[in-house]
Amino acid sequence: MNVLRMNEITENTRKTIEKLLSVRELAGFLGVSPRMVQHLAKRGDLPCVKIGRCLRFEMADVRAFIEKQKTGKVLDNYQPT
């Protein structure tokens, strides 16, 4: 069995490892409630990693989600806050 120790991680591998965002961190980043983030994950709109009972999000998935949400016009039912 080949065990990879932290001091053996190559620079290439180190670059591919990203910090996973928690529900609260992502909610703050997106400017929405943690409950909305959980709702989006439950619906499958926002991919997540489940670690035990915790949800974590990769920034690449968050970027893809944001790109899919872009629209060229303001929606008819949009209510500014």
pLDDT higher than 60, residue 77? yes
Q: DSSP character for 1?
A: -
pLDDT of the residue at 11: 61
Higher pLDDT, 15 or 79: 79
Strand bridging mode 21-22 / 49-51: unpaired
Instruction: Write down the residue that tokens 């974590």 correspond to.
Output: 56
Query: Please, are residues 22 and 58 in contact by the beta-carbon 8 Å criterion?
Result: no
Please report the domains of the chain, with CATH numbers, ordered by start residue: 17-68 (3.90.105)
Q: DSSP character for 76?
A: T
User: Could you read off the pLDDT of 16-67 as tens digits, one per residue?
Assistant: 567 899 999 999 999 999 999 999 999 999 999 999 999 999 999 999 999 9
CB proximity list for 30: less than 8 A, separation 6 or greater? 36, 37, 62
